[in-house]
Each structure stands twice: as structure tokens, then as C-alpha cells.
Amino acid sequence: MVPNKKMEALLNKQMNAEFYNSHLYQAMAGWFESQNLPGFAGWLEVQAEEERKHALKFYSHLKERRGAILVGPVPAVPTKYKSALDAFQAAYDHEVHVSQEINKLMDAALADKDYAMAKMLDWFITEQVEEEASTDAILQQLKMIGNSLGSLMYIDRHVGKRKAA
């Protein structure tokens, strides 16, 4: 069943937002590389790839339902941060925003009785709980260490162990 034009537009908007998210985290990874914090950079590179896969889930959903797929330009992303804490605060705030957008999509899908879309979005709702939690865990650790460079290096080594799923 082809989604109606309103739902199709919402799916395309979120697909493009997920491509933006991928660029955002890749840019953050680049900033961490410039700060000689390769563990954080690696964590964010994995995150960037996950976000790209999220975009492709929306792409595939549109394709499977014979909807129009409209991949647009990716707006410029921030590339500079004051500190690791500043970067992860921005990442966490962004994940909260993404969760709100996914919830709005679910509201629209249910209101439109588009159960196929709602089923697909259910995965994203669960995923966003994980995304917020993992980003917040790092954010809280960065808040705890204050200006301790030794602790920052320890966390960098720890988060650098993250591997792609």
C-alpha cells in the first residue's frame, strides 16, 4: 500500500534528518580526532554509521511501499565544540530531539491508521531509548570528571572499545 502524500512527506523528512544525524556524528568524530581523542572519535564514527542505517530503513520502507523517495541536500553541521562535555551535551540534546520527532511520526501514523508505518516506527522508538541512554551515560561521566585530563583519557580509551553492531 502506497502511503498517502502526507505520510510519504513525513517519511522523507525523517529519512533526510537521519542522513543529517549521520553527518553530525561524523563531524563530531572529526572534532575529537583533532583533539587527539581517538576513542571518542571511534565511538562517534560507529554512531554516524548507525544513523546512516537508520536513514536507509526509512528509504527501504518508502521503496517497499512504492512511495516517492526524495533524498535532499544535507544542511551544514556544527564542526567545533568547546570540550568533550560540550560535544556530548550537544549529542544528547540531539538524541532527545530525534526521539521527539519519532514520537510525532508515530502519532501521525496512528492517527492515519497507517499500521505498517507504526510497526516500522516501533523499532525506532525502542532504538531511541538506547540512543539516549548510551549518549547520556557518556555525558554523565564527562560531567563527573570535571577538568581531570587523566579521567578524560580513561573514558576515551573505554568508549573507543565500541564496535559496529
6-21 pLDDT, tens digit each: 999 999 999 999 999 9
The Cα 54–Cα 110 span in angstroms is 21
65-104 pLDDT, tens digit each: 999 999 999 999 999 999 999 999 999 999 999 999 999 9
Residue 165, pLDDT score: 65
Do residues 21 and 51 make contact, with C-beta atoms less than 8 angstroms apart?
A: yes
Residue 164, pLDDT score: 67
The full set of domain ranges for the chain reads 5-159
Return the amino acid letter for 58: F
Can you say how many angstroms the Cα of residue 157 is from the centroid of all Cα atoms in its chain?
Answer: 22
Confidence class of residue 2 from pLDDT cuts 50, 70 and 90?
Answer: low
What phi and psi, each to the nearest 5 degrees, are found at residue 147?
-100, 20
- CATH code for the part of the protein at 5-159: 1.20.1260.10
Instruction: Give CA torsion, residues 153, 41, 25, 89, to 10 deg.
Output: 0
Q: Name, in order, each residue with C-beta under 8 angstroms of 19's C-beta and a sequence gap of 6 or more.
A: 51, 52, 55, 71, 74
